[in-house]
Amino acid sequence: MIHALISARSYQTQHPQPPLHTALFIEQPLSRFMVLIATVFPPQTTIGYAYSDSALFPVSAVVAAAQKRGISVQTTVVSEESEITKRLATLLPTVDLLLLLPDNRLLNRHTARGIILQAYQQKIPLLTYSESLVKAGGGLALFSTVEEQGEEVAEMVATISAGGVVPPPSYPRKFSVAVNYQLVKNIGLELDEEEKLKWAVMQEESR
C-alpha cells in the first residue's frame, strides 16, 4: 500500500509494516528549504523560526538542518495564538528571513494574514511551504503540486507492478518554487525566475 498526501510524522505514528507499506510524504525535506535559503540569500543570513507544540518539524531538526548549511537560526515558541504578535515583534528585528513551516496553531486561517502583514511591515521576507501563502503576501514558497505528487505516486505504482522492490517512504523528488515578485521587490530583494531557483536547488541536491 502506498500512502500519499501524508506527513512523515502522521505516517510514522501509524506504525506501518514495510515492505507492505510505503509513502510519499506531502512536505518538503528541511534540507531543501536550507538549500533554497543558501541559494537566494547571502552568507551569514539569519533565519527566524517561530513554532508551537503543533509544529510538524521540531525546532531541533530545523536548527540542525540550518547548521549544516552554515545558516544561523533565531527561534521563538508560541504557546497561544494571542502571543504571536508579541513573539514576532521580538523575533523579526533579529533576522533576515522568517521561515514558516506547517504548524496548525501558529499558522492557520485566523493568524496567517496578521503574520504576513507584520513581517511585511518589518521588511522581512517569508519562506513558506504553501503557494497560497505566497499569493496572500508571502515572499517565496517551496512545495510540490498535486500533479507532481501524482506523477511520483504513478512511478512508484509502476515500479511495484513491474515486480520491482517497494521503495522506502520518502520526501518528494519533484517540487516547485513560487515567488511573489512584487512583494520581494517592495522589501528590497531581487530574485531569479522561479525555474532558475528550482534548477539551482536541484543542482545543489544532486551533488
Which SS3 state, helix, strand or coil, does residue 78 take? coil
Which SS3 state, helix, strand or coil, does residue 95 take? coil
Q: Are residues 46 and 109 in the same domain?
A: yes
pLDDT at 89: 97
pLDDT tens by residue, 182-192: 999 999 999 99
What is the rounded CA–CA span in Å between residue 166 and residue 191?
39
Asked whether residue 169 is assigned to any structural domain, the reply reads: no
Burial class (CB in 10 A: 0-12, 13-18, 19+), 2: middle
pLDDT at 197: 97
Q: Cell digits for 12?
A: 510514522
pLDDT at 204: 95
Q: Are residues 155 and 119 in the same domain?
A: no
Q: Are residues 19 and 67 in the same domain?
A: no
Q: Are residues 83 and 8 in the same domain?
A: no
Domain count, the chain: 2
What's the whole-model pTM score? 0.94
pLDDT tens by residue, 140-181: 999 999 999 999 999 999 998 998 888 899 999 999 999 999
What's the whole-number average pLDDT of the chain?
Answer: 94
For residue 34, CA distances in Å to 15, 27, 31, 153 come to 29, 14, 5, 25
pLDDT at 189: 92
Q: Cell digits for 122?
A: 518589518
| Segment 18-39 mean pLDDT | 92
Indicate whether 8 pLDDT > 80. yes
In CATH, what number is assigned to the domain containing residue 194? 3.40.50.2300
pLDDT at 12: 84
What is the rounded CA–CA span in Å between residue 10 and residue 198?
27
| Segment 195-203 mean pLDDT | 97
The secondary structure of 138-198, three-state, reads: CCEEEECCHHHHHHHHHHHHHHHHCCCCCCCCECCCCCEEEECHHHHHHCCCCCCCHHHHH
pLDDT tens by residue, 105-145: 999 999 999 999 999 999 999 999 999 999 999 999 999 99
pLDDT at 97: 97
Q: Are residues 52 and 120 in the same domain?
A: yes
Instruction: For residue 126, count other CB atoms closer than 10 A to its CB.
Output: 25
Domain that residue 148 falls in: 2-25+144-161
pLDDT at 155: 94
